[in-house]
């Protein structure tokens, strides 16, 4: 573009490329969700609608960016792993952070009414985003172990806290005091002896968070052409991907994004999915 006499100000915009060949972890977190969850009547300790909405926004982001190979979410946060070779936006840091944060936030708002049909948004929610580079698979493993351990610690605390308040009749101040200085074994004990709750039997979604990965759609599990209804009878939306007919002749196997609530600290999750850290 031809420069006006003002165009020199452009030179003050400095490049901000990210080191090549390193893993990127992009984490976003809801801004003041303590307040946002109160104002929108989230169920305590875990509002499943809110968690599923987070998962859906994360899935939307993965669908928009094939470089995202893994996502892990809990509460109001999500951590996305981008492969070492990711070249999106020429690895410009501010472009990546601002665009991903904006896309996630906009999905969250766009899908809000599907998950909270009876509760219109009272004000626009927002998220902060940050990006950290890690040199090797070891740090990535430890990063995700750190987040899942956090999920466990927070959920055990919150579950016990809200049992004391909702079933034990304690005020929030009392419940904080009751739990002050307790170790995890004591919280399990309070839950079990006072409220007959076996913590380990609670929904894995709450205990383990949400892990999103891409899984190959196996051709065998798809119906053969003969079993399929004629394509012309289907409205356009139903012929959209993943369609087994369109799959024929493709080189790359089709994948779909799945939401798991499993352990990602032990080796098994990673050993069975070597492509994530490749």
Residues comprising the binding site?
A: 29-34, 75-76
CB nearer ligand ATP, residue 46 or residue 107: 46
Answer for the pair 66, 256: CB distance below 8 angstroms, yes or no: no
CB nearer ligand ATP, residue 4 or residue 193: 4
> CB under 5 A: which stretch of 25-33, 41-49, 107-115, 210-218 binds Mg ion?
25-33
Query: Cβ 205 to ligand ATP, closest distance in Å?
Result: 10
Binding stretches for ligand ATP (CB under 6 A):
29-34, 37, 42, 44, 46-47, 50-51, 75-76
Compute CA distances 138 → 130, 149, 265, 274, 275, whole Å. 20, 16, 12, 13, 15
The tokens for 232 are: 């012309």
Compute CA distances 168 → 43, 49, 171, 172, whole Å. 17, 25, 9, 11
CB nearer ligand ATP, residue 33 or residue 199: 33
Answer for the pair 78, 104: CB distance below 8 angstroms, yes or no: yes
> CB under 5 A: which stretch of 69-77, 87-95, 161-169, 231-239 binds Mg ion?
69-77
The one of ligand ATP, Mg ion, none whose footprint includes residue 37, by CB under 5 to 8 A per kind, is ligand ATP
Compute CA distances 257 → 19, 63, 244, whole Å. 28, 8, 16
Report phi then psi at 138, rounded to 5: -60, -45
Quote the CA–CA distance of 228 and 61 in Å, as a whole number: 30
CB nearer ligand ATP, residue 137 or residue 204: 204
DSSP letter for 32, please: T
What character string, x for contact with Mg ion (CB under 5 A) and - otherwise, covers 26-45? ---xx--x------------
Query: Cβ 36 to ligand ATP, closest distance in Å?
Result: 7
DSSP letter for 268, please: H
Query: Cβ 14 to Mg ion, closest distance in Å?
Result: 20
Q: Which positions from 115 through 174 interact with Mg ion, judged by CB under 5 A?
A: none
DSSP letter for 18, please: P
CB nearer ligand ATP, residue 47 or residue 139: 47
Query: Cβ 113 to ligand ATP, closest distance in Å?
Result: 17
Question: To 10 degrees, the CA torsion angle through 215, 216, 218, 219?
Answer: 150
Half-sphere exposure of 28 (CA within 13 A, CB side): 25
Annotation: binding site for GTP: 29-34, 75-76
Query: Cβ 30 to Mg ion, closest distance in Å?
Result: 4
CB nearer ligand ATP, residue 158 or residue 182: 158
- Residue numbers at the binding site for Mg ion (CB under 5 A): 29-30, 33, 75-77
């Amino acid at each position: 573009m031809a420069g006006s006499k003002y165009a020199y100000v452009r030179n003050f915009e400095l490049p901000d490329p990210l080191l090549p060949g390193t893993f990127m972890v992009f984490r976003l977190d809801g801004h003041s969700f303590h307040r946002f969850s109160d104002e929108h009547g989230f169920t305590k300790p875990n509002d499943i609608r809110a968690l599923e909405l987070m998962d859906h926004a994360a899935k939307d982001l993965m669908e928009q960016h094939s470089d995202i190979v893994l996502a892990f979410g809990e509460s109001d946060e999500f951590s996305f792993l981008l492969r070492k070779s990711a070249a999106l936006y020429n690895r410009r840091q501010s472009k990546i952070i601002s665009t991903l944060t904006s896309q996630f936030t906009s999905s969250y708002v766009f899908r809000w009414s599907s998950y909270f049909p009876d509760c219109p948004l009272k004000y626009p929610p927002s998220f902060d985003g940050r990006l950290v580079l890690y040199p090797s698979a070891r740090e990535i493993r430890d990063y995700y172990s750190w987040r899942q351990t956090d999920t466990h610690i927070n959920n055990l605390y919150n579950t016990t806290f809200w049992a004391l308040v909702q079933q034990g009749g304690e005020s929030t101040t009392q419940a904080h005091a009751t739990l002050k200085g307790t170790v995890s074994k004591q919280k399990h004990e309070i839950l079990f002896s006072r409220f007959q709750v076996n913590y380990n039997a609670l929904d894995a979604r709450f205990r383990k968070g949400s892990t999103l990965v891409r899984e190959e759609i196996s051709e065998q599990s798809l119906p053969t052409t003969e079993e399929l209804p004629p394509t012309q009878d289907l409205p356009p939306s139903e012929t959209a991907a993943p369609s087994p007919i369109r799959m024929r002749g493709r080189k790359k196997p089709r994948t779909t994004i799945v939401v798991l609530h499993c352990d990602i600290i032990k080796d098994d999750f990673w050993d069975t999915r070597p492509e994530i850290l490749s």
